[in-house]
Amino acid sequence: MSTNTVHKIDTHRRLCILKDLRELELWLQSLEGFSEDLNHFKIIDNQIVKNDLVSKKIKALQRKTVLMIASLCKYEQELKTEYEYGKVEYNTLRLKIHVQRQQNYLLLLKEQQEFKVLIFTQLRRFKR
């Protein structure tokens, strides 16, 4: 391969990894925000709702969120290392790995939305 072709492949690889890193940052910000929301929901549950099911779901979601954040932080480090020092071409295997992480994130988002519906339904029972 010519030097120009190698340079183009490396530039493309870096660009794709950079795109993945930016997307990953959004995922992490979203999860950190939901983690804060869960802390507020926990207070609401303790003071107003007082429902064991809601308490258990909050704890379960907190665990899942922390595990997902940890997993994504590890993935972020892998991407940063690959961006700086790697020479592996950005191919379908790397894309599949990223899409799998994305699907895991989206499943957790769906679970978060379902929980929000549950807690807001519980809050609707209360009147001023």
34: which residues sit within 8 A by CB, 6+ positions away?
65, 112
| Overall domain count for the chain | 1
Of 17-21, 43-47, 59-63, 85-89, give the lowest mean pLDDT range.
85-89
pLDDT digits (tens, 9 = 90+) for 14-24: 999 999 999 99
Q: How confident is the model at residue 117 (pLDDT cuts 50, 70, 90)?
A: very high
Q: Tell me the residue range of the domain where 83 lies.
A: 3-124
Beta-carbon count within 10 A of 71 CB: 13
Joined tokens for residue 4: 């120009």
Residue with the two structure tokens 């490396």? 10
d(CA 124, CA 126): 5
The reply to whether the predicted model has a pTM over 0.95 is: no
Would you say 108 and 65 are in contact if contact means Cβ atoms under 8 Å apart?
yes
Average pLDDT of the residues in 21-47: 97
Report whether pLDDT(126) > 90: no
Report whether pLDDT(76) > 90: yes
Joined tokens for residue 16: 């794709």
